[in-house]
Amino acid sequence: MSDKYNEAIAASSVLADDAVVKATVEKILNDHFDECNTTDVHKFLLNTVDLTTLNATDSPSSVAAFVERVNAFDEEHPELPNVAAICTYPNFAQVVRTVLDVSDVDVCCVSGGFPSSQTFIEVKVAETALAVDGGADEIDIVLNLGNFLDGDYQEVCDEIIEQKQACRDARMKVILESGALATAENIKKASVLALYSGADFLKTSTGKGYPGASLEAAFVMCSCIREYFEKTGRMVGFKASGGVRTTDEAVRYYCIVKAVLGEMWLTNEYFRLGASSLANNLLTSILGEDTKCF
């Protein structure tokens, strides 16, 4: 029996053959990595980082100190762009908002039962609303993998839609947990469902418990974003997270975004990298000496 969810997936012509996706990614990198691996690109990538602390040991004082590093960077390196956002658990939104002095750095919170999405929808909605009330500009939620793998696409989409409403004016990133989905076909299906449920960003991974971002997942997700834009005219962002640590790895994701989505997406409004150690590695590449500002 057909339904609107399966119809939307069936209407997508995005490439979802794992072997072909892998070969296509390899060709993009072979053709473009060297031309993209420049200091200017490294500076741009620094400005796409969602600087992240998601530890069981996080506290108001440790998160405040984390934010102060971002404040200090703005004063110590005024010639360089700062990170795009600071990402924490939702109970620290108000701490980040209070301590943060840099106007062009956003407050981002994971929410919705992160990282498993295994809790009541009422709890997910309340957590998101409280994070926004606390000052979050952006909310990162996790697609309900259990329902997705059971084929209950209506429940998957309804949860995303409800959390999107709770975001109000905040932007919502939907984490697909691409390492758990594993195949290009599953990543394509999840991307289509998230896009048509109002996601403002597609994000690869939580970085918790499953393989993190992969270039192949990025290619499929960006292809779905491109197709969705061509059909609807709405631009949706892409965020790679989970294991993106080195400058070379970051440049590879830049190559994929540039090749698939194009120049319009080469702004931190539509391209992000979620990381805890990447910012320092990019700084080291930019400055030419070992640097640990964050």
- The answer to whether residues 238 and 201 touch, using CB atoms and an 8 Å cutoff, is yes
Is 203 in the active site?
yes
Report d(CA 231, CA 223) in Å as an integer. 12
List the Cα angle 184/271/182 in 5-degree steps.
20
Burial of 57 (0-12, 13-18, 19+ CB in 10 A): exposed
Q: How far, in whole angstroms, is CA 277 from its chain's centroid? A: 16
Among the listed residues 106, 140, 164, 188, the single catalytic one is: 140
How many Cβ atoms from other residues are within 10 Å of residue 226's Cβ? 18
Catalytic residue among 164, 173, 239, 258: 239
Whether residue 140 lies in the annotated active site:
yes
Catalytic, out of 164, 188, 203, 258: 203
Show the beta-strand stretches assigned E in the chain: 49-52, 85-88, 106-110, 138-142, 171-175, 201-203, 237-241, 271-275
The answer to whether residue 200 is catalytic is: no
Catalytic residue numbers, as ranges: 140, 203, 239
